[in-house]
Amino acid sequence: MKLRISFKYTHLYPSARSLVRMSTRPLVRSSARPLVPLSSRPPVRLSTCPPFSLPLPPKPPSPMTINETEAQIISEFAMFDDWMDKYNYLIELGKSLQIISEEYRTDQYLITGCQSKVWLHASLTEGKVVFTGDSDAIITKGIVSLLIRVLSGQTPDDILRAKLEFVDQIGLQEHLSPTRSNGLSSMIKQMKLYATVFKMTREK
């Protein structure tokens, strides 16, 4: 005896007639507010805030004059009562000295009359004399640092007029050995000689 089993899935699919009926039904609008045509919308009002702009960078400070730099150095050394502390400060100043280029560490740029080796180079940039220097002695290197700090970036005329009174006011001259004192005078003389040459070159 054979059993025939059939399954009918037609109840799962809507008939064509029901699909037509569903497509012709009017859409039911939701309770949301009706759409407004673009032409009837009010124009968008632009913001009246001023345009954003970045602040201008501050102007670089003007370079200090020789007298102002001297006064600053005198004030710094006045903080120390003991000259051993002043020597240590002088050594620290020498450590911050910009190293002279190797091409200028030659005998041509050595300053005669110094106990230790001192190299000094000068160039004229936009009417200002720019000094770089170095020394193989830590105390002398600190002295070079002070002189470059005062005179570098100044005009030849200002350098020639400079009296460099800070040397005596901080007691540097009297606390140096005779040979170091002579070396200090030689350094100042060489720096003013550079200024003289640059001044003569500009006047030609």
pLDDT tens per residue across span 122-162: 999 999 999 999 999 999 999 999 999 999 999 999 999 99
| pLDDT tops 80 at residue 29 | no
pLDDT of residue 180: 86
Measure CA of the first residue to CA of the last residue in the chain; give whole Å. Answer: 134
- Structure-token pair, residue 181: 């004192």
Greatest CA span in the chain, whole angstroms? 138
Which are the contacts of 150, defined by CB distance < 8 A and separation ≥ 6? Answer: 66, 69, 70, 73, 162, 164, 166
- Structure-token pair, residue 132: 């770089």
**CA pair distance 138, 94, nearest whole angstrom:** 7
pLDDT tens per residue across span 42-76: 555 555 554 544 455 444 455 799 999 999 999 99
- Summarize the confidence of residues 109-134 as an average pLDDT: 93
Residues involved in catalysis: 114
β partners of residue 110: 119
Question: In which band, very low, low, confident or very high, does the pLDDT at 38 lie, cut at 50, 70 and 90?
Answer: low
In the chain, the domains with their CATH numbers are 66-203 (3.90.1010.10)
| pLDDT tops 80 at residue 40 | no
**CA pair distance 191, 7, nearest whole angstrom:** 114
Q: Three-state SS for 84?
A: helix
pTM, 2 dp:
0.69
Which are the contacts of 132, defined by CB distance < 8 A and separation ≥ 6? Answer: 98, 100, 101, 104, 120, 121, 122, 148, 152
